[in-house]
């Protein structure tokens, strides 16, 4: 029998409508390139959102068309987060840290029609422009740079959207936003979030057992808005109606700490590299900043080191360790102590908080070993598989269908244990990728490039632990007989093909690379050998490996 509940669609624009109606004067604060603060309210945001949606439709945007953004975290990006989906279009956030060739590839693959770019990134736009096909490009003036030829003003676009407007009816299952994620092999793949998945993800993210976000909070999302829809935080914060403070391009520890103090920030979110920098700054000048007591820091993207959790506790600041993926919207697990575990001895409690944590409601996790589901004993390893209403069921063009199990769970590529209390702990990853400061580096792409050098017979690229970036790439190279090449020469060879931060920090020369029985590079062994070598190299500066 059918229920008699209303069929009310779950749309992010309803979250904004609610915030504008009930918390209309609550501010969205954005730090501009000159460090001045731009302020608008939820009421302003709603009005500009309406104007943007209307103007995009007048500009010829059809339902399902992609509008790309190339922007830092600020008010205009937030407007795009709501206005593009509300118009029936799909927000496609481009990762400005990628090599221009990759950005262009991704934009073409997504068939983006329009672009909204902020004027601090016009040089990057100039680099991708010859290889992309945007019909119209709208520039947000933050730094006051002149409009490049062929571009239009974002404010002029909004002005075209003035006047009455009724939002188009949308089905909640249609796509609202899109992000690309790096592939182990091959090109990045697109993930399409629906209006419904965004709303459900926001509802659960805000729960006390998850990120615990309420109207009284003041949130700074440091995590870029071009990463996994900024962990859904702009939507979750709008659902809560809390003040949002956007850091713009200023992500150094001192700028962030000034902002936290000035705006009385209660919660912020970012990758460990950001937090390690902030902790180091606080330890150096413990009296300089007066942060809000009990401020929460959501740490994800890479593992939060236990020492960092302890370090922040000394300042009365709480680390909330979370795990997620682009494919999972991203929130999957959060490490919070259960009520009856809160009296654990300190060492055990910290060890638990350093785990990736408990799956949030509606999100299911299992560890799959070679012979089925691994027991939840905190010891047996398995690949983490997940499912839930905000987990992708396929990639944009159906790439890599093997990423889903036969019974429809998503294979994360993370190797985990799950303990009897349900806490997930990541121990390794099967993906051949390196995560440096929260950004992926493809070892396979670097290997292929190295192996195209005339002197290189074989090359394996591995992740080595790094105190600042969590991981950095190192290459192990076997040269062809009677050929020679120096480390510098190989790095110069890679330079034009990759973003600077992709280049291996160190290149080791070896006579052979250990392989598995199936002929693949045995990277676990390489990681072990070279992590040791790296340790001794760093301890004895001046020696060459």
Q: Name the residues annotated as catalytic.
A: 181, 327, 435, 440
- Binding residue (CB under 6 A) for ligand AMP from 270, 300, 437, 473: 300
How far apart CA 278 and CA 405 sit, in angstroms, is 40
Ranges of H-type helices in 63-194: 75-86, 100-110, 122-128, 154-160
Q: Given the complex with ligand AMP, which of 116 and 309 has the nearer CB atom?
A: 309
How far apart CA 30 and CA 471 sit, in angstroms, is 31
Nearest one of 324, 280, 319 to 302, comparing CA atoms? 324
Q: Which stretch binds ligand AMP (CB under 6 A): 34-42, 105-113, 321-329, 518-526?
A: 321-329
Contact flag: residue 181 with ligand AMP (CB under 6 A): yes
195 to each of 44, 90, 330, 365, 372, how far by Cα in Å? 22, 10, 15, 23, 34
- Binding residue (CB under 6 A) for ligand AMP from 194, 302, 417, 436: 302
Task: For the chain, count helices (H), then strands (E).
Answer: 16, 26
Contact flag: residue 418 with ligand AMP (CB under 6 A): no
Contact flag: residue 414 with ligand AMP (CB under 6 A): yes
Contact flag: residue 442 with ligand AMP (CB under 6 A): no
Contact flag: residue 412 with ligand AMP (CB under 6 A): yes
Q: Which stretch binds ligand AMP (CB under 6 A): 309-317, 338-346, 412-420, 502-510?
A: 412-420
**In the complex, minimum distance from the CB of residue 468 to ligand AMP, in angstroms, rounded to a whole number:** 16
Paired strand residues for 466 = 470
Q: Which stretch binds ligand AMP (CB under 6 A): 86-94, 135-143, 317-325, 360-368?
A: 317-325
Q: Given the complex with ligand AMP, which of 229 and 507 has the nearer CB atom?
A: 229
Dig out the tokens for 41 from the structure. 């309210």
**In the complex, minimum distance from the CB of residue 228 to ligand AMP, in angstroms, rounded to a whole number:** 5
Grouping H, G, I as helix, E, B as strand and the rest as coil, residue 180 is: strand
Q: Which stretch binds ligand AMP (CB under 6 A): 28-36, 255-263, 296-304, 372-380?
A: 296-304
165 to each of 48, 247, 309, how far by Cα in Å? 12, 31, 48
How far apart CA 355 and CA 323 sit, in angstroms, is 9
How far apart CA 190 and CA 534 sit, in angstroms, is 36
Cβ 384 vs Cβ 374: under 8 Å: no
12-51 footprint of ligand AMP as x/- string (CB under 6 A) = ----------------------------------------
User: Interaction with ligand AMP in 217-236: which residues (CB under 6 A)?
Assistant: 228
**In the complex, minimum distance from the CB of residue 437 to ligand AMP, in angstroms, rounded to a whole number:** 12
* 176 CB-near residues (< 8 Å, 6+ apart): 12, 85, 90, 91, 193, 194, 195, 198
Q: Given the complex with ligand AMP, which of 161 and 270 has the nearer CB atom?
A: 270
- Binding residue (CB under 6 A) for ligand AMP from 193, 226, 323, 502: 323
Contact flag: residue 521 with ligand AMP (CB under 6 A): no
Q: Which stretch binds ligand AMP (CB under 6 A): 248-256, 336-344, 408-416, 457-465?
A: 408-416
**In the complex, minimum distance from the CB of residue 237 to ligand AMP, in angstroms, rounded to a whole number:** 19
134-173 footprint of ligand AMP as x/- string (CB under 6 A) = ----------------------------------------
Q: Given the complex with ligand AMP, which of 197 and 302 has the nearer CB atom?
A: 302
How many of the chain's residues bind ligand AMP (CB under 6 A)? Answer: 20
Contact flag: residue 429 with ligand AMP (CB under 6 A): yes
Cβ 182 vs Cβ 188: under 8 Å: yes
Nearest one of 187, 249, 247 to 221, comparing CA atoms? 247
342-371 footprint of ligand AMP as x/- string (CB under 6 A) = --------------x---------------
Do strands 189-194 and 175-181 pair parallel, antiparallel, or not at all (unpaired)?
antiparallel
* 356 CB-near residues (< 8 Å, 6+ apart): 303, 321, 322, 323, 333, 335, 416, 423, 424, 425, 426
342-366 exposure pattern, b = at least 16 Cβ within 10 A, e = fewer:
eeeeeeeeeebbbbbbbbbeebebb
**In the complex, minimum distance from the CB of residue 37 to ligand AMP, in angstroms, rounded to a whole number:** 29
Ranges of H-type helices in 391-453: 443-451
Q: What is the binding site for ligand AMP (CB under 6 A)?
A: 181, 228, 300-303, 321, 323-326, 330, 356, 412-414, 426, 429, 435, 440
């Amino acid at each position: 029998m059918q229920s008699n509940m209303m069929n009310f669609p779950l749309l992010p624009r309803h979250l904004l409508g609610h915030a504008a109606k009930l918390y209309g004067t609550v501010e969205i604060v954005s730090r501009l390139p000159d460090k001045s603060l731009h302020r608008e309210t939820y009421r302003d945001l709603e009005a500009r959102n309406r104007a943007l949606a209307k103007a995009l439709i007048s500009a010829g945007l059809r339902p399902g068309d992609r509008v790309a953004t190339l922007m830092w975290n600020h008010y205009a990006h937030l407007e795009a987060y709501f206005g593009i989906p509300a118009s029936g279009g799909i927000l496609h956030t481009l990762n400005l840290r990628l090599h221009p060739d990759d950005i262009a590839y991704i934009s073409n693959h997504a068939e983006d029609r329009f672009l909204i770019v902020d004027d601090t990134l016009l040089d990057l736009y100039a680099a991708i422009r010859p290889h992309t096909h945007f019909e119209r490009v709208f520039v947000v003036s933050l730094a006051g740079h002149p409009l490049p030829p062929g571009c239009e003003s974002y404010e002029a676009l909004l002005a075209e959207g003035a006047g009455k407007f009724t939002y188009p009816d949308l089905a909640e299952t249609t796509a609202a936003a899109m992000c690309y994620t790096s592939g182990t092999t091959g090109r990045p793949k697109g993930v399409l979030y629906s209006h419904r998945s965004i709303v459900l993800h926001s509802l659960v993210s805000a729960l006390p057992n998850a990120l615990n976000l309420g109207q009284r909070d003041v949130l700074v999302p440091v995590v870029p808005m071009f990463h996994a829809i900024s962990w859904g935080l702009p939507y979750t914060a709008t659902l809560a109606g809390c003040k949002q403070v956007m850091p713009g391009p200023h992500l150094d520890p001192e700028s962030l700490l000034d902002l936290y103090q000035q705006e009385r920030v209660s919660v912020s979110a970012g990758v460990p590299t950001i937090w390690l920098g902030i902790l180091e700054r606080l330890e150096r000048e413990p009296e300089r900043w007066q942060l809000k007591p009990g401020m929460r820091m959501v740490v994800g993207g890479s593992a939060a080191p236990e020492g960092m959790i302890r370090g922040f506790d000394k300042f009365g600041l709480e680390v909330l360790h979370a795990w997620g993926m682009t494919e999972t919207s991203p929130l999957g697990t959060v490490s919070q102590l259960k009520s009856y575990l809160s009296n654990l001895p300190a060492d055990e409690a910290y060890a638990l908080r350093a785990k990736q944590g408990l799956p949030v409601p509606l999100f299911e996790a299992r560890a799959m070993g070679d012979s089925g589901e691994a027991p939840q004993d905190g010891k047996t390893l398995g690949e983490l598989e997940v499912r839930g209403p905000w987990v992708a069921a396929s990639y944009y063009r159906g790439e890599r269908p093997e990423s889903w199990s036969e019974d429809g769970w998503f294979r994360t590529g993370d190797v985990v244990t799950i303990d009897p209390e349900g806490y997930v702990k990541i121990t390794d990853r099967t993906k051949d990728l390196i995560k440096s400061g929260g950004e992926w580096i493809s070892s396979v792409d670097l290997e292929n490039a190295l192996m195209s050098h005339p002197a290189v017979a074989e090359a394996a690229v591995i992740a080595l632990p790094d105190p600042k970036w969590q991981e950095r790439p190192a290459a192990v190279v076997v040269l062809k007989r009677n050929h020679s090449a120096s480390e510098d020469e190989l790095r110069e060879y890679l330079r034009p093909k990759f973003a600077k931060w992709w280049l291996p920090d160190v290149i080791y020369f070896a006579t052979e690379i250990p392989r598995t029985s199936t002929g693949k590079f045995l990277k676990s062994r390489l990681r072990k050998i070279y992590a040791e070598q790296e340790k001794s190299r760093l301890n004895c500066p001046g020696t060459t490996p």
